[in-house]
Amino acid sequence: MREQGYPVKGAGIGYRRCMADTLPEVDPARIDFLEVAPENWIGLGGRFGKKFRETAERYPVMTHGLSLSLGGPSPLDLDFLNRLKVFMKEHSIRGYSEHLSYCTDDGHLYDLMPIPFTEEAVRYVAQRIRQTQDVLEQKIAVENVSFYAAPSHEMTELEFLLAVLDEADCDLLLDVNNIYVNSINHKYNAEEFLAAMPADRIMYIHVAGHYNEAEDLIVDTHGADVVDPVWKLLQQAYDQFGTVPTLLERDFNIPPMAELLQEVDQIRGYQQAWRKRNDRTVA
């Protein structure tokens, strides 16, 4: 468990523009924090800009980037980072995370591409993470991502992830759905992978749904309900790390707010069950 504590607590959801009118009707006690993609909100005016300002005053907010391209060949977008820094200060944003991947090559690729699992890539990405942290003047978290090919790999996904975290001295956004997806697609043990995660670096957790393309191919879509094996991994994470703040991601096929809140309640239920077990153990 992190000695320095977590930037948020409890169970949250990813905030999307389609929620601008329904979220204000929700009892704030049902949602502990929100997460937004800053690229979708920085500099936004009009009705949605006003809605976001009101929402950020009501809930703690985390930011999860889409476009920084930590593993990309192009120089880091310092203009974006400086605008992000102002945005985070203006809205009292609790933290920033990005994908451990890349999405640019002299232009945006509009997808998250896998970074080669090599020692050279570890040093390259870690330097860019440190540069990002220097600009923002705070630690960031990188997310373990789903991937469908491993080009030029000299080490495993687990070895690469742990090496980057250590070299960059950054935090981890732990996505348990991505662990499950990769375990099926690349045939490894999801429970063992999760057990190897460094507790002191976990900033918060993601859970999400996916699409079963075939028996041996899962696509990480964030467009469906969370499945039982992922819920079980989340419970394992709580057993191992304690009740880490956990966010429900839903980017497509977004159901009515009442349905989303059922999954948020399920997260909270697992957290409360862990606390009850832990209290009895301590007693």
Taking alpha carbons only, the member of 79, 155, 144 closest to residue 117 is: 155
Which domain, by its residues, includes 71? 11-282
User: In the numeric block, which tokens belong to residue 239?
Assistant: 């057993």
Taking each helix axis as running N to C, give the angle between helix 119-136 and helix 78-90, from 0 to 180 degrees, rounded to the nearest 10.
Answer: 50
Residue 207 in any domain: the answer is yes
Residue 2 in any domain: the answer is no
Residue 116 in any domain: the answer is yes
Looking at the chain, how many residues does it have? 283
Number of domains in the chain: 1
Residue 252 in any domain: the answer is yes
Residue 120: alpha-carbon gap to chain centroid: 25
pLDDT at residue 71 in the model: 82
The CATH number of the domain where 228 resides is what? Answer: 3.20.20.150
CA distance 175 to 190: 12
CA angle (94 as vertex; 52, 248 as ends), nearest 5: 70
pLDDT at residue 224 in the model: 67
Task: Write out pLDDT tens, residues 120-169.
Answer: 999 999 999 999 999 999 999 999 987 766 667 789 999 999 999 999 99
List Cβ neighbours of 18 (8 Å cut-off, separation of 6 or more).
254
List Cβ neighbours of 241 (8 Å cut-off, separation of 6 or more).
1, 197, 199, 202
Main-chain phi, psi angles of 105, to 5 degrees: -160, 80
Q: CB atoms < 10 A from the CB of 9, how many?
A: 16
Residue 21 in any domain: the answer is yes
Residue 3 in any domain: the answer is no
CA distance 77 to 219: 29
Task: Write out pLDDT tens, residues 29-44.
Answer: 999 999 999 999 999 9
CA distance 242 to 194: 13
Place of tokens 């945006």: 108
Task: Please report which confidence band the pLDDT of residue 3 belongs to, taking 50, 70 and 90 as the band edges.
Answer: low
Segment 212-229 shows an average pLDDT of 72
Residue 6 in any domain: the answer is no
Say if residues 243 and 268 touch (Cβ distance below 8 Å).
no
Residue 243 in any domain: the answer is yes
pLDDT at 110 over 80: no
What percent of the chain stands above pLDDT 70?
86
Q: Is residue 60 classed as helix, strand or coil in its secondary structure?
A: coil
